[in-house]
Amino acid sequence: MTVLVTGGAGFIGSNFVLDWFARGGGPVVNLDKLTYAGNPANLEGLTGNAAHVFVHGDICDRDLVRRLLEQHAPRAIVHFAAESHVDRSILGPSEFVQTNVVGTFGLLEETRTWWEKRAPSERADFRFLHVSTDEVFGSLGPHDPPFSESTPVAPNSPYAASKAAADHLVRAYHHTYGLPTLTVNCSNNYGPYQFPEKLIPLMILNGLTRKPLPVYGDGGNVRDWLYVQDHCAAIRQVLARGRVGESYNVGGNNQKTNLEVVNAICALLDEARPNRKSPHSTLISFVKDRPGHDHRYAMDSTKISSQIGWKSAESFDSGLRKTVAWYLDNPDWVAHVTSGAYRHWIEKNYAMRGEA
């Protein structure tokens, strides 16, 4: 009853693996390339757990994928592995095409070849669950209804385009070959173990060290925020009860402007680490917007709620409070991930922006 997880040392993947074992899930084979965002320290809680098999490798290595499928015969694949940061995709789109498109294609091909050799009962029970993003749908206007599963795909960044391509491949492998696939498109995740190039951990860590808090444009871009453990619960439920060949939107129902998010973080930091000279909000610095910055995302989660019964457990306030507390309580993890290459990239990215 093994599950193969790709990208299980990354932010969402590691939270999923940790939560899977915490809830009594079966064995996991965890395949991760360990790029800058994949961190073995995320999985330290599983040290000595014989049911967790970590494999350092790339989904683009089809020979490796083939061997893992043949050796472990997983009942499901949960596919997180991806390059996932819009800013990085603007600076270097080729890695996004290689991992998100070519890698997903190779994984699908090896899975299909292996799956077609299985007994009919095993084929029927198998699932390939692909984890995607709301960014494939493009941008919403201020008064547009939220994205549904039938919203036309309209990606606006190299990252979003690469994920949309992967979504199309997953859909095609179900309709062409009968591979039992499922897709989850999620809104912006936040929570423990998130690499601090993303908005929430970047603002927390910059705030703690009294560095500027760089906000793109006027801070008016809107995102629907989803606590990562709510997302993990949705994935587990879709894996167990989702209808084969379908996709499910997963949102937190928490639409906030970037500036609202940053101010909320500042308020929590003022509470936890007060500074008598000035509140953390005085560190906010508006910088030049990034190219093609989508104005608004919002997700309609009616389908997953009505068909499967999932709903988010955390409000934005409760999830953000837990997230800030986690970063405050884990300085060793923070020190490790914010060294070297991370600092170089942050300097490069924001030096390009300057003041707004």
Give me the CATH topology for the region 3-190+227-254+297-315.
Rossmann fold (3.40.50)
SS3 195: coil
Longest CA span, the chain:
69
**What pLDDT does residue 343 have?**
52
**What is the DSSP-derived secondary structure letter of residue 101?**
I
- One-letter amino acid identity for 106? G
- Residues annotated as catalytic (active site), given as ranges: 134-135, 159
pTM: 0.93
Q: In what order do the strands lie in the sheet with 76-79?
A: 52-56, 28-32, 3-6, 76-79, 127-133, 181-186, 247-250
Burial class (CB in 10 A: 0-12, 13-18, 19+), 217: middle
pLDDT of residue 84: 82
User: What is the reported pLDDT for 212?
Assistant: 96
Report the run of H or E that residue 225 belongs to, with start and end: strand 222-227
The whole-angstrom separation of Cα 81 and Cα 9 is 9
The pair of structure tokens assigned to 265 is 């973080």
Whether 75 and 27 have beta carbons less than 8 Å apart is answered as no
Pick from 249, 240, 191: which is nearest to 1 by CA? Answer: 240
Which position has the token pair 């060294």? 339
Beta bridge partners of 77: 4, 128
Residue 205 one-letter amino acid: L
Taking the alpha carbons at both ends of the chain, their separation in whole angstroms is: 53
| Cβ-based neighbours of 306, under 8 Å, separated by 6 or more | none
- 197: tokens are 């190039």
Name which of 322, 340, 318 is nearest 330 in CA terms: 322
CA distances from residue 112 to 85, 143, 352 in whole angstroms, order as listed: 29, 42, 44
pLDDT at residue number 339: 74
At 249, is the secondary structure helix, strand, or coil? strand
Ramachandran angles phi, psi of 65, nearest 5°: -60, -45
Residues 259, 142 contacting (CB under 8 angstroms): no
Per residue of the chain (356 residues), give pLDDT as tens: 899 999 999 999 999 999 999 999 999 999 999 888 888 999 999 999 999 999 999 999 999 999 999 999 999 999 999 998 788 889 899 999 999 999 999 999 999 999 999 999 999 999 999 999 999 999 999 999 999 999 999 999 999 999 999 999 999 999 999 999 999 999 999 999 998 889 999 999 999 999 999 999 999 999 999 999 999 999 999 999 999 999 999 999 999 999 999 999 999 999 999 988 899 999 999 999 988 888 999 999 999 999 999 999 999 999 999 999 999 999 999 988 887 554 554 455 545 545 44
DSSP letter for each residue of 3-42: EEEESTTSHHHHHHHHHHHHTT---EEEEE---TT--GGG
Question: Looking at this protein, which amino acid is placed at residue 207?
Answer: G
Q: Going by DSSP bridges, is the β-strand pair 52-56/181-186 parallel, antiparallel, or unpaired?
A: unpaired
pLDDT recorded at residue 196: 87
At a CB cut-off of 8 Å and minimum separation 6, what does 231 contact? Answer: 12, 15, 184, 186, 189, 250
